Structure formats: structure tokens, C-alpha cells
């Protein structure tokens, strides 16, 4: 466990590479939660999209769910932000309990999915909609499958698989999505990353169906 002084020297380092490596490699199993929370809460003027996405990811890992922060991250989805920041915000909300989601979350995301945007962002929005498990889940699932069929972006398929791996999808939905991507991988080149992840996840998904 690092001391607070050691943490500050890395967390507030002038080099983005040092800060990023620390955030992505440190286990944060220490007694400095309040320092991290205060730092993230006051980081309202971050311009570097990669650093901002790192901080959003960290807020999610540490379960920092203050309403002020939730409102800020939610606003990122509907304002001019780099897609990496929006993906981080979507990742943040997909792990929030339903009680913490905005009242208009489903309607807002459904509307957002119809706007012109990248495949990787649109498919992540669709994953978030499936995960909230409302009466429209089957529709959202079908729309996700259709979007995956149309995309040639391997990153989008890889990210959806990572959602299956780390998020709480219904086991049947997980199998349907996995099989669909597996079928697509046989028809078009989705790259070694997707192929490797399909192979890695296959046995577990089929055993839990």
C-alpha cells in the first residue's frame, strides 16, 4: 500500500503517461478514498480526453456515485465530447444500480442511439439499454444484433464482448449476442483480438446458458 504522499506524486504528476499508468496499474487498496473522491469531484476542467476518461473509469471502479458527479458525467453524453469520454461515461452508468440512474435514462439513451455517431458508441449505448432490463429489452437486444451485423469495426465487436465478460447480462441474452458475433467473425475479418476473445469466453458462456 502506498502512502498518501506517494500516491499524490503519481496521481498529480505533470506527465499524463505517469498518471495514466498509475490509474490503470495501481490496485487502490489503500486508505486514501477521500483523497481520490475529492480530486475527481473537483476535476471539472480536464481538457485531455484520455485523462478525463481515465478519471471517469476510476470513479466507477471506486464506486464514487455522488449526484453532482453523476449529473456531470451524464451531461457528457449529450454535449460535445470526444467519443472516448462518452464511452467512459456509458461504462460508468452501466455499473450503477437502477436507483442511481436518471429518471429519463432509458428514453434519453434510446433517443441518443438514433443520432448520427460512431458504431462503437452506438453499440455501447445499446448494451446499456439491454442491461437495464426493462420491458423493451428484447427490442434493444434485436437492435444491438442488427447494429453488429452492419458494422465492420472490430473494436465495436470487441467492446461488446468485453461487456458480456464483465457485466451482468441475462445468460440467455449473453449467449445470443456471443453466438451472433461468432457467426459474424466467420463471415468478415474482425481481427485476432475478437477471435481470441471469442475463444476465451466460449466455454464459460455455453456452460452458463
Alpha-helix residue ranges (DSSP H) falling in 43-82? 49-61, 67-76
Would the pLDDT of 100 be above 90?
yes
> What is the per-residue pLDDT across 177-193, written as a single tens digit (0 to 9) for each?
999 999 999 999 899 99
CB 40 within 8 A of CB 64: yes
Specify if 189 maps to a domain: no
> What is the per-residue pLDDT across 21-41, written as a single tens digit (0 to 9) for each?
999 999 999 999 999 999 999
Specify if 167 maps to a domain: no
Per-residue HEC secondary structure of 89-133 comes to: HHHHHHCCCHHHCCCCHHHHHHHHCCCCCCHHHHHHHHHHHHHCC
pLDDT value of position 205: 83
Per residue in 123-144, is it b (16+ CB within 10 Å) or e — as a string?
bbbbbbbbbbeeeeeeebbebb
Specify if 23 maps to a domain: yes
> What is the per-residue pLDDT across 106-124, written as a single tens digit (0 to 9) for each?
999 999 998 888 999 999 9
Kindly state the average pLDDT of the residues 133-151.
Answer: 96
Confidence of residue 207 (pLDDT cuts 50, 70, 90): confident
Q: Which among 81, 83, 89 is positioned nearest to 153, based on CA atoms?
A: 83
pLDDT value of position 209: 59
Whole-number Å distance between alpha carbons of 81 and 167: 25
All cell numbers assigned to 132:
437495464
Q: Which among 163, 155, 83, 75 is positioned nearest to 117, based on CA atoms?
A: 83
Specify if 115 maps to a domain: yes
Place of cell 429518471: 103
The parent domain of residue 135 ranges over 4-153
Whole-number Å distance between alpha carbons of 143 and 103: 22
- Distance set, CA 24 to CA 32, 61, 146, 187 (Å): 16, 11, 33, 35
* Percent of the chain topping pLDDT 70: 100
> What is the per-residue pLDDT across 149-163, written as a single tens digit (0 to 9) for each?
999 999 999 999 999
Kindly state the average pLDDT of the residues 162-174.
Answer: 94
CB 198 within 8 A of CB 181: yes
CB 59 within 8 A of CB 95: no
Helix, strand or coil, per DSSP, at residue 199: helix
Number of domains in the chain: 1
pLDDT value of position 25: 96
Specify if 168 maps to a domain: no
Specify if 64 maps to a domain: yes
Specify if 174 maps to a domain: no
Specify if 178 maps to a domain: no
Give 195-199's long-range contacts (Cβ < 8 A, gap of 24+): 197/158, 197/161, 197/162, 197/165, 198/161
Amino acid at each position: 500500500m502506498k502512502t498518501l504522499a506517494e500516491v499524490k506524486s503519481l496521481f498529480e504528476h505533470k506527465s499524463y503517461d505517469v498518471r495514466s499508468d498509475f490509474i490503470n496499474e495501481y490496485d487502490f487498496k489503500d486508505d486514501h478514498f477521500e483523497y481520490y473522491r475529492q480530486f475527481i469531484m473537483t476535476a471539472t476542467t480536464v481538457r485531455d480526453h484520455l485523462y478525463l476518461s481515465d478519471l471517469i473509469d476510476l470513479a466507477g471502479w471506486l464506486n464514487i456515485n455522488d449526484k453532482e458527479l453523476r449529473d456531470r458525467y451524464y451531461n457528457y453524453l449529450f454535449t460535445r465530447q470526444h467519443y472516448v469520454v462518452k464511452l467512459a461515461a456509458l461504462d460508468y452508468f452501466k455499473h450503477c444500480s437502477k436507483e442511481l440512474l436518471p429518471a429519463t435514462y432509458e428514453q434519453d439513451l434510446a433517443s441518443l442511439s438514433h443520432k448520427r455517431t460512431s458504431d462503437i458508441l452506438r453499440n455501447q449505448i445499446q448494451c446499456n439499454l439491454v442491461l437495464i432490463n426493462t420491458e423493451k429489452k428484447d427490442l434493444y437486444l434485436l437492435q444491438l444484433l442488427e447494429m453488429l451485423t452492419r458494422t465492420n469495426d472490430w473494436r465495436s465487436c470487441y467492446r461488446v464482448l468485453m461487456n458480456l465478460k464483465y457485466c451482468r447480462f441475462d445468460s440467455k441474452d449473453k449467449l445470443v449476442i456471443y453466438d451472433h458475433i461468432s457467426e459474424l467473425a466467420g463471415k468478415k475479418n474482425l481481427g485476432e483480438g475478437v477471435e481470441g476473445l471469442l475463444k476465451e469466453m466460449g466455454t464459460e458462456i455455453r456452460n452458463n446458458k
